[in-house]
Amino acid sequence: MSLICSKYLPEINLGKFSNYSKVERIFSNKSNEIDDVYIWGAANSTHFLCNEKITSISEIAIHNNKILVLTNKEANYLLNFSIKNNVEILVFENLFPFFNDIKYVSMEKNFDILLKKIIYLKKKNIPLKKISTVYSNLYLHKVERKIRNKSILDQAFRLYPLSGYQEVFKLKETRKNRTILCLDFNSMYPSVLDQSFFDPKYLEYKKVNKKVNSLDDIENGLHHVILYKCKNDYFKEYNYFQYINKKIKQSYTIEDEPIEILLFNDEIKFIFDFFEEIFIIDSIISHKSIKHPLCKEANSLYNQRLSFKKDNNITLASLTKLKLTLLHSCTNQKKFKRLNVKDKCHIQQLIVSHYDIPIEESEFFMEYFVKKGIIKFKKNNKGYDVDILDTTSAYNVLSLSAHVIAKSKVKLMETIMSFLSFQNLEICYVNIDCIHLSIESNDIDFFLNKFKHVIGDKLGQLKIENIATQGYWLDIGRYWLYSNNNLIEHKNILFNTPYLLDPYRKFRKFRKITKFEGFHYISEHNINLLNCLNMKKKIIKMDDHIKLCRFNQKTLTSIVNYKENLITNLKNNYPTYKGLIDEIFD
């Protein structure tokens, strides 16, 4: 028995793609230049302003249309009206999330700002459409122009998880003699685009069934491998593998049980020395290596970003940052296929046939996919319209996206491993392209000198974001950093937005539209910080610092143990977390 670490699957099976040999052209929507037409408006809690007229919200006479408002707050005021009159409310700050000066002031002021922003966009030649869609399509078009075709084997790459490495290793670090360094990679994903990728046109399935003897044995491609006996203690503890089960998604400390996983050639090369044996079952290999089609684009965008920063043009600098993030994600856009079925049990059959799920689990996955937005359905007079995520879509080049993620994880992991060899260094927090670590204060200069080759302004180098003396990391995207008792940086996702910067919010209300069988209704929810926290790791408590420890590999495989452990663990952890919140929020 081996521990399967991949997207949730009963088994990893590349074999079923063995006779996928056709090539198809990649599709791309060349975005037309015509702007979407909306009504521009603004609102406060009672009234609505558009066309120089103010009407009470309950009396707005607009139906089946689109209204563009500046802020989410206004959209919230118009929520009831929008459902009643079938009006879609578009929010400027969501469509163009690169302005740093948008906030709710008043109805009249907001309307003015909205007009000014629209004029600004026109001046900069930015189309009045959701910015991420516009540039995703543009970049995908560029990819298509360069490589034109892909093998339909490309769809096998959907089995590779696209999630990044995110984890908290320390809850609290307030030791007097220590300093916390917060490092960020400059554009992590774009920075790996200059490495060697492979042309999605020339993919081939290959049965291997051989162990890897040397680095030369590893062909370019995605490999289904079994890893035996980890020899590297750092990797045992800090690996980025995740065990994903129906109910579990968790990192773990590697023990002796073999691990079954999908890895790119880059990853196997990186971990080759860490394991006693690596056995390849089968692979999807490629015959031609290329640079990433958007490599040049990445470099020029990065240089643009630097020069905007130098000019102190914050808006355009953050627009360029947004564009940079779209470079790798444009090849994994979500495309849906619409199908019609007579009744609900046919939807389950669709899930079974589209996602290779055993029939007996279709009920579970129906719920799971609805929650994740992979499948949506609407009742109509004939039955159901089903929108199902199309993993075979010619709008995707999944092999490129997956490869970018894989290379980034290797790069991050390499950096972490090299840091770990530094004396008394502890990793506190890792989030995709960001590392927080703690070292002894006396060692700072030595550290900066030792790693000066990876620290700098260039694409892919590390930037020092903050230097702190105390830190609390309650969860991914939830941390507070202090320098001599002054808060210098914090993040608290959901509770804070860029425009709502109270660092100490524990409660929040939000409204949710629930769509059910054609009905729409609004429900209000309260969320509480303490209940949002993921407390799945073990706590090792010391006076002025608290470590978080991973579960062992064995605990995960036995469901009974896992559940028991999880419950006792939660019970143990709860008071500590509660105490910490009080400590931070006092």
Q: Which is nearer to DNA, 31 or 466 (CB)?
A: 31
CA dihedral for 6, 9, 15, 18, sign (positive or negative) = negative
The span from the CA of 384 to the CA of 343, in Å, is 7
- The least CB distance from residue 292 to DNA, in Å, is 12
Q: Which is nearer to DNA, 117 or 129 (CB)?
A: 129
State which amino acid sits at residue 390: D
Backbone φ, ψ for residue 28 (5° rounding): -155, 135
Q: Which is nearer to DNA, 22 or 563 (CB)?
A: 22
- The least CB distance from residue 153 to DNA, in Å, is 17
Coil vs helix vs strand at 186: coil
The full 3-state SS of 434-491, as one line of letters, equals EEEEEEEHHHHHHHHHHCCCCECCCCCCEEEEEEECEEEEEECCEEEEEECCEEEEEE
CA distances for 439 relative to 1, 168, 338, angstroms: 40, 16, 54
- The least CB distance from residue 383 to DNA, in Å, is 12
Q: Which is nearer to DNA, 197 or 243 (CB)?
A: 197
Q: Which is nearer to DNA, 72 or 393 (CB)?
A: 393
- The least CB distance from residue 96 to DNA, in Å, is 22
Q: Which is nearer to DNA, 238 or 395 (CB)?
A: 395
Q: Which is nearer to DNA, 32 or 526 (CB)?
A: 32
CA dihedral for 348, 354, 357, 358, sign (positive or negative) = positive
CB neighbourhood size of 152 (10 A): 16
In our burial notation (b when 16+ CB lie closer than 10 A, e otherwise), range 324-335 reads bebbbbbbbbee
Q: Which is nearer to DNA, 146 or 538 (CB)?
A: 146
Q: Which is nearer to DNA, 337 or 536 (CB)?
A: 337
The span from the CA of 418 to the CA of 411, in Å, is 11
The span from the CA of 296 to the CA of 146, in Å, is 12
Q: Which is nearer to DNA, 113 or 143 (CB)?
A: 143
Coil vs helix vs strand at 187: coil
Q: Which is nearer to DNA, 145 or 210 (CB)?
A: 145
- The least CB distance from residue 230 to DNA, in Å, is 40
400 close to 197: Cβ distance less than 8 angstroms:
yes
- The least CB distance from residue 64 to DNA, in Å, is 13
- The least CB distance from residue 335 to DNA, in Å, is 9
Coil vs helix vs strand at 528: strand
Residues that bind DNA (CB under 7 A): 24-25, 27, 29, 32, 142, 145-146, 148, 290, 293, 338, 394-395
| DSSP for 77-134, written as a single string | HTHHHHHHTT-EEEEHHHHSTT-S------HHHHHHHHHHHHHHHHHTT--SS-HHHH
- The least CB distance from residue 343 to DNA, in Å, is 16
- The least CB distance from residue 296 to DNA, in Å, is 8
279: left (phi over 0), alpha (psi -120 to 50) or beta: beta
CA angle in degrees (0–180, nearest 5) for 250-252-255: 145
- The least CB distance from residue 557 to DNA, in Å, is 44
- The least CB distance from residue 330 to DNA, in Å, is 15
